[in-house]
Chains A and B, each alone.
Chain A
Amino acid sequence: MIDASELKDSVENENDLVTKEIKTKSLKNIAPSFKNYREEYKYTPFIRRIEKKFSSFNPSSDIKNHEEYRELIPDSEKYYIVIVNGSFLKQISSLPVEIEINNYKGLTKENREIFNSTYSKTDDSNFDIFSTINSIQHQNCLTFRINKSTVLDGKISIYNIVDSKNPVYFRKCFHIGKNSKVSFSEKFIYTSHESYFSNSVTEIFMDENSNLNYFTDQNINKNYHYNSINVFQKKDSISNFHTYSFSGAIIRNNLNIKLTEKNCYANMYGFYAIKNSSHIDNHTSVDHIDESSISNEHYKGIVDKDSNGVFNGKIYVRQKAQKTNAFQANNNILLSDSAKVNTKPQLEIWADDVKCSHGCTVGQLDEDALFYLMSRGISRKDATSLLLSAFSTDITDKIEDEDIRENYELMILRELEELNHE
């Protein structure tokens, strides 16, 4: 179904020489990506499902009146970036002065240099078919430059709006300077309730001693979404990723972190509460390349009627990465017999002086705990909600910023209300 000539045309039609070079390289990655597909998408029949909906992988670039999109942004937002069908709408965005946001193609040669170390480094290491297609089909790569020693309070929201029957490609590249501290919150908004597809690839380069908080939330009804975040950390940097997923025909999240230097710290937290034929697939990988780094990963999920939760966590510890500390856990609660969980926590270790552990559980709510609450006059439904929200606090507690945490806690409570309590 992936039409090679269509992809070749996309490469041929590229005017920007550097981008064309990247795309040509990606074209060669199609074959190895396909080889990986069978194992990497074992539980997520993504291509087969997409195939039924779309005849072509060509992107769309039509954009309606900007005002319509502005209405989608809540008034409470201070800083926000609006991207519609892959194109950055500067006119309706509100940007802090400390951050330079531009399309890669609009950058001067010197400014491009900064991003060349990361832009399109993704496919080389991962060979994911959707990332590869994104590399070939995306039209604009949006670059974010945070200068060194920039500390921003509050978060910057990124609104990715999908308003097209054709596949939509988002591409972003971040360069976070030395000693900077920033928070981003990314949302995906679909203007239809079903059958739209967006493919987002983000590359983040973190310089020495930088600090990043990155939130992603996905509640996209019956739409399709592929999201790949690729992080390259330099020494003493700290990254915190928080991923919340609530609905989607298929959502696939790839979070790949490379700890390339010493003393890096990576935290990955995820929570999913899904129902009504949703399918959430979280694939993470942490690659410890140099020594004395710490990675910590915790994903929790509640899976209800006809839904499927997939988790695959990979930890690689290279030979040089002595004194690594890596922790990984995945806990799931199944609420229905038609729900399904596939989990695969994976460790690959080549160094001996390390502490690595992983654990995963699949189970249900403790009947004794439910009984305890019910014996105190709490209805079964409320008791279940209470226990489920307690289950989620392990993840929400990890959010430092109080406002953001409260926001997510409320969001989770609302979602839990809608779950089926048998």
Chain B
Amino acid sequence: MSKDDKILKEFTSKEYEHGWSVDFDVDQAPKGLNEDIIKLISSKKEEPKWLLDWRLKAFEHFKKMSEPEWSNLNIPKIDYQDISYYSAPKKKKMLKSMDEVDPELIETFEKLGISLLEQKRLSGVAVDAVIDSVSIGTTFKDKLSELGIIFCSFSEAVKEYPELVKKHLGKVIPAKDNYFACLNSAVFSDGSFCYIPKGVRCPMELSTYFRINASNTGQFERTLIVADEGSYVSYLEGCTAPMRDENQLHAAVVEIHAEKDAEVKYSTVQNWYPGDKNGKGGIYNFVTKRGICNGSNSKISWTQVETGSAITWKYPSCILRGDNSVGEFYSVAVTNNYQQADTGTKMIHIGKNTKSKIISKGISAGHSHNSYRGHVNVLKRAKNSRNFSQCDSLLLGNKCGAHTFPYIDIENKSSMVEHEATTSKIGEDQIFYCLQRGIDEENAIALIVNGYAKEVLKQLPMEFSVEAQKLLSLTLEGSVG
């Protein structure tokens, strides 16, 4: 066995670190997808009638839709009737402070290395932790509410700020947008709601940690972020799921509204269970993320580090409606074993002088397939628009694949669009250079890969950046090209 093979084997046999499951008292709905289940979810959450109607309307439409086939993914048939659409840790009593949170739950977070208490004290990050559909424990609420910032669970927002939710829900991603968004609209369980009032700069990073805990429950998160005129917010999302043999479905929706002069930065680190080395199990991650720059000079920036999930289907997009608005997309997607990723972005330029930038770095190893799929559309009235896209792929081993599908549609003469892509492996000469200087092969590769992804990693907030770098070097340890 050559050294390459040995190292590759070592690395493929690495078990998923976050694979454990805590037994809470779980309140779970029976399996199946029908109107009664939707009514049940709605009544459990004590939702108003308009929201139930909205869900039912989405479900009506969902029944008429069929699964999309265009992606470069091999998706095993999903039985939507075999999934439980609601599960919540049983409510014992109303929680007033963090001390009252189930210690087991706190332990769960500690295993993940994101202890709420620690974070509250040390890092100044407010965490709205979501475990299996119901939000528990929202920190820093008081501090945020002083500034008029609303950061709470989605169900709470529906109760307390129905007008705001009603005004923005489904406006960027309509219920009928696509198959998975439509499913989410019908059965979404919980999520986060965030509103930054006019002229407020959110003083801390807002963060949510999602975990899929109970087995066989699809998690249908819904996040809505509204940044009013001149505001700024940086939002973090991190995900881990315990090891399960059966595939779990995750169909989330994230909507962002950025008004005039507002800026929203959305960062994700996703390391859900990718399945074992034979491709068994793992999460199916079908996410619809889209932001709209409504007002002029607004900005939305997506940063993602995707290392987990058996299948990833995700295209965080920007609709640049306001003049001079800016959209950015930075992505590192790593696939290993039998993972499949089809990810990218859409940049729709509508307003004048709009700018967008796409940096996508794909790394494939093992038998995995990694695709970039992007769409840059400059409409006729989007005069003087500018786009730059770069999508690079790195191949480790000769059984994996890297694919690029950029769609570029330009409809006026004053805009400039550039796209470039390369595919390569880690060069012998690069490794040789490092070896020469006394850096061993392992570290040389970590160094090169980190350098390769640097452009994206540096966009992440500090805490995330460290986590992401750790994830990267862990996943790619010893993959000599």
**Looking at the complex, which one of B407, B413, B420, B424 makes contact with A359 (CB distance below 8 Å)?**
B420
Known A352-B397, A357-B422, A361-B417: A347·B404 in contact at CB below 8 Å:
yes
> Chain A's nearest CB lies how many Å from the CB of B451?
19
User: When the two chains form their complex, are residues B398 and A349 in contact, meaning their CB atoms are under 8 A apart?
Assistant: no
> A352 CA to B481 CA in the complex, in Å?
7
Task: Tell me how far the C-beta of B419 lies from the nearest C-beta in chain A, rounded to whole angstroms.
Answer: 5
Contact of B412 with A361 in the complex, beta carbons under 8 Å: no
B419 nearest in chain A by CB position: A360
Within residues 355 to 377 of chain A, which ones have a CB less than 8 A from any CB in chain B?
355-364
A335 within 8 A of B: yes
A352-B400 contact, Cβ under 8 Å, with A359-B418, A359-B420, A364-B416: yes
Question: Which one of B401, B407, B421, B424 contacts A350 once the chains associate, using CB atoms below 8 Å?
Answer: B401
Let me know if A254 is at the binding interface, CB within 8 A.
no
Measured between C-beta atoms, what is the minimum distance from A178 to chain B in Å? 32
| Beta-carbon contact of A341 and B398 below 8 Å | no
Decide yes or no whether B14 CB sits under 8 A from chain A. Answer: no
* Distance of A112 Cα from B169 Cα, bound (Å): 67
Within 8 A of A (CB), among B414-469: 414-425
Complex Cα distance, B380 from A268, in Å, reads 31
Taking a contact as CB atoms closer than 8 A, the residue among A340, A348, A364 that contacts B409 in the complex is A340
CB distance from B116 to the nearest CB of A (A): 43
Interface status of A126 (Cβ within 8 A of chain B): no
- A343 at interface by CB-CB < 8 Å: yes
Q: Interface centre among B397, B414, B424, by most A CB within 10 Å?
A: B424
Cα A358 to Cα B418 in complex, Å, equals 11
- Known A335-B413, A343-B408, A344-B407; contact A359-B425, beta-carbon cutoff 8 A: no
* CB interface residues, B 389-413, toward A, < 8 Å: 393, 395-413
Asked if B50 is at the interface (CB within 8 A of a chain A CB), the reply is no
- In whole Å, how far is A107's beta carbon from the nearest beta carbon of chain B? 42
Q: What residues of B have a CB within 8 angstroms of the CB of A345 in the complex?
A: 404, 406, 419, 421
A218 contacts the other chain (CB 8 A): no
Contact residues, A329-348 vs B (CB, 8 A): 332, 334-348
**Chain A, residue nearest B383 (CB):** A337
Say yes or no: A341-B421 contact (C-beta < 8 A), given A348-B401, A352-B397, A362-B415: no
Contact of A39 among B70, B409, B416 (CB under 8 A): B70
Whole-angstrom distance from the CB of B418 to the nearest CB of chain A?
5
B401 in complex: contacting residue of A39, A342, A349, CB < 8 Å? A349
Q: Which residue of B lies closest to A312 (CB)?
A: B407
CB distance from B479 to the nearest CB of A (A): 10
Whole-angstrom distance between the Cβ of A15 and the nearest chain B Cβ = 41
Instruction: State which size class the interface on B falls in.
Output: 35 or more
Does A319 sit at the interface, judged by CB under 8 A?
Answer: yes
Contacts of B402 in A (CB 8 A): 347-349
Q: Which chain B residue shows the least CB distance to A340?
A: B411
Does A158 touch B at the CB level, under 8 Å? no
Q: Is the CB of A359 within 8 A of B421?
A: yes
CA distance A410 to B411 in the complex (A): 29
CB atoms of B423 and A349 under 8 A apart: yes
In the complex, the chain B residue whose C-beta lies closest to that of A361 is B418
A342 vs B410: C-alpha distance in the bound complex, in angstroms? 6
Q: Are B407 and A361 in contact (CB under 8 A)?
A: no
Q: Is A12 an interface residue (CB 8 A)?
A: no
Per-residue CB proximity of A304-347 to B under 8 Å, as 1/0? 00000000000000010010000000001011111111111111
* Whole-angstrom CA separation of A71 from B307 in the bound complex: 67
Interface residues of A in 110-163 (CB under 8 A from B): none
Residues of A close to B423: CB separation below 8 A: 347, 349, 354-357
Please name the residue on chain A nearest to B381 by beta carbon.
Answer: A337
* B426 CB → nearest A CB, Å: 9
A319 to B405, CA, bound (A): 19
Candidates B398, B404, B412; contact of A337 at CB < 8 Å: B412
CB-CB contacts of A211-245 with B at 8 A, as 1s and 0s? 00000000000000000000000000000000000
CA distance A302 to B80 in the complex (A): 49
CB <8 Å contact, B408 and A364: no
Judging by beta carbons under 8 Å apart, are B413 and A334 in contact? yes
A341 to chain B: which residues have CB within 8 Å?
408-410
Is residue A100 contacting chain B, with contact meaning CB distance below 8 A? Answer: no
A27 CB contacts on chain B under 8 angstroms: none
Give A349 to B369 CA distance when docked, in angstroms. 9
Given A341-B410, A360-B419, decide whether A353 and B393 contact each other with a Cβ distance below 8 A: no
Q: Complex: how many Å from CA A214 to CA B411?
A: 32
Using Cβ atoms and an 8 Å threshold, which residues of chain A touch B70?
39
Chain A contacts for B425, CB-based, 8 A: 352-354
Known: A345-B421, A349-B393. A319 touches B398 (CB 8 A): yes
CB-based contact B408/A359 at 8 Å: no
13 new A-B contacts, CB < 8 A, other than A43-B409, A358-B419, are A340-B410, A342-B408, A346-B403, A349-B395, A349-B401, A349-B403, A352-B425, A356-B422, A356-B423, A357-B422, A360-B419, A361-B417, A362-B417
List 15 A-B pairs, Cβ < 8 Å: A341-B410, A342-B410, A344-B408, A345-B419, A346-B404, A347-B404, A347-B421, A348-B403, A348-B404, A349-B395, A353-B425, A357-B421, A359-B418, A359-B421, A362-B416
Nearest 8 interchain pairs by C-beta: A352-B395, A334-B413, A359-B420, A356-B423, A347-B404, A362-B417, A362-B410, A357-B422
